[in-house]
Chain A
Amino acid sequence: MANVFAFVESRGGDVRKAGLEAVSAARQIADQTGGGEVHALLAGAPGIAAQASRLAEVGADVVYVVEHAGLAQYDAESLAATAAERIRAGGYRAAVFSATAQGKDLSPRVAAKLRAPLAPDATAIAVEGDAIVVRHPMYTGKVIGALAITASPALLSVRLGAVPAQPNAKAGRVETIQPAADPGASKVRVVELREGNKGKIDLGEAAVIVAGGRGLKAPENFKLVEELADSFGNAAVGATRAVTDEGWRPHSDQIGQTGRVVSPELYVAVGISGAIQHLAGMRTSKTIVAINKDKEAPIFKVADYGIVGDVFEIVPALTQAVRAAKAAH
């Protein structure tokens, strides 16, 4: 019976969706290796302890809480030291991180501190005999690798949405611990967090993404994409590289080989032809809708549903229809 560790990402005093998913992924590994405990590490500014119960609800048996004013912002050096110390002390079979920007920054540091193997960006996790095996998209998603780790602890980072958080209530003992390194002593400091699209849902967490491409012809026409996204109520706006290169949208909105990789329930591609680089970022979406004037566009080869025609005519009609459908619920 092996215990499993989960690092919980939080921001501004709130647990991120990725943090809940990390606990669920750890729960899954613990269950498959004989039902051990899940120990979560939750760190943040004073007050973060109040979030511990949310982790118990999704399967954490123990929540180690680190509260420190210096952790109001992400502090890689202090968090890596604390996570490494806890993992070392806990003798875990596996340690789960989120494959978010922060998780991808943190997990390799912890792996190097522990000289432990790291399987990154898992889209699925399985326990096979002595090995923990993760599926990991490589070559821009054109190849899926099965990466195996037999040594303990096995470190892995899990892609957003790969292991949805499941209700799995535990008693959830809370234990307060000290940071293994003072955040004030870190060499790299986050001096500011500029929240973009405040109040809007992030691409990685959105159930629906409406993305626009060059077919929109001009930056101001992106409002069609935004209005369609608004009509769904739970959608984020994305863009192709052509669009971000033109400066119509910030680089952080780019979906593709060199941008964000997303897997929403529904992906609506507006005026996007479907270059290989773009497909690399969205082909794992559950349902894909394409709207494009060129019926030979490669996007139609990956789309579940397509409408051929003028985006300036179709998108406003779709926005209205989605609004009506939502209102009827």
Chain B
Amino acid sequence: MKIAVCIKRVPVMEVKFAIGKDGASVDETGLKYDVNDFDLWAVEAALQLNEKNAPGEVTVISLGTDAAQEQIRKALSMGADKGVLLKADRLPGDAFAVAEALAAELKDGGYDVIFFGKKSIDADNSATGAMVGELLGLPVVTGVSKLEIAGGKGTAHRAVEGGIEVLEFPLPAIVTVDEGLNKERLPSLKGIMAAKKKPLESRPAQLGTAGVTVQKMELPPERAAGRIVGEGAAAVPELVRLLQSEAKVL
């Protein structure tokens, strides 16, 4: 099987963010980066599928600056076979512009399955995978938390509000991965050494025109400091009084 996984370099979120000088981006000073969580689970899904259907090939594709090579190498060290960097000076705020570049790369790849994370935790668009599917005319199943692929067909579960949808689809197809599908494996030392020798191609991204522009970014208003009503069950009556008379939610 030929499998592709699209991954994104995103900041690690455990920091306070500041807004950059242009007022429309985050200040990158001091940020650390990793592979987007959902994309790590997508890589894991690809590796597991490849192991079941060996021999095959897993290609990892990322659109980003040169720095994204680090994230591609991480996926290679987990076990992917080769990497492709679609180079862009800056990522547009428009998922469709990104989707066009990825679709151009994926179009003639002959992939049986193309995995994406359900969303990236920085832009939070939840759109790229489905857009690529539409551009390539492939079946798309989004937000998959359970997956079986065999005999040219797939069965998937997707969480929707208040339930789970069970879906069936033919290959080739695009699958976007939700939490719960798996846990990503850690790169082994052997994997890290091997990754250094694996092919990583780089070419300019054919970005589409952005129709959505990030006009500005702001930090959300801080929540006003709350108060400790009290300790233990004795504080319950006062809490209930506050919920009724002050917050008016009871």
Interface residues of A (CB under 8 A from B): 16, 18, 73-74, 76-77, 80, 100-102, 104-105, 107-109, 111-113, 115-121, 131, 133, 136-149, 151, 160, 187-197, 200, 202-205, 207-208, 232, 244, 251-252, 254, 257-259, 265-266, 276-277, 280, 283, 286-290, 295, 300-310, 313-314, 317-318, 321-322, 325-326
Contacts and interface: CB of A to CB of B under 8 A. Distances in A.
A317 B142 CA distance: 42
A194 B233 contact: no
Interface in B6-24: 11, 13-14, 16-17, 19
A276 B239 CA distance: 25
Contacts of A142: 13, 16-17, 219-220
Contacts of A73: 165
Contacts of A187: 139, 169-170, 173
Contacts of A302: 223, 226
A194 B167 contact: no
Interface of B: 11, 13-14, 16-17, 19, 26, 37-38, 93-96, 99, 121-131, 133-135, 139-143, 145, 158-170, 173, 178-180, 210-220, 223-233, 235-237, 239-240, 242-244, 247, 249-250
A169 to B, nearest CB: 27
14 contacts: A101-B142, A105-B158, A109-B134, A111-B96, A113-B134, A139-B124, A194-B163, A196-B164, A258-B179, A266-B243, A276-B13, A287-B247, A288-B226, A295-B228
B211 A147 contact: no
A112 B166 contact: no
Contact of B220 (A141, A196, A318): A141
Binding site secondary structure of chain B: mixed
Given A105-B130, A108-B125, 6 more contacts: A100-B160, A105-B158, A118-B125, A288-B226, A313-B233, A318-B239
Contacts of B141: 188
A143 B236 contact: no
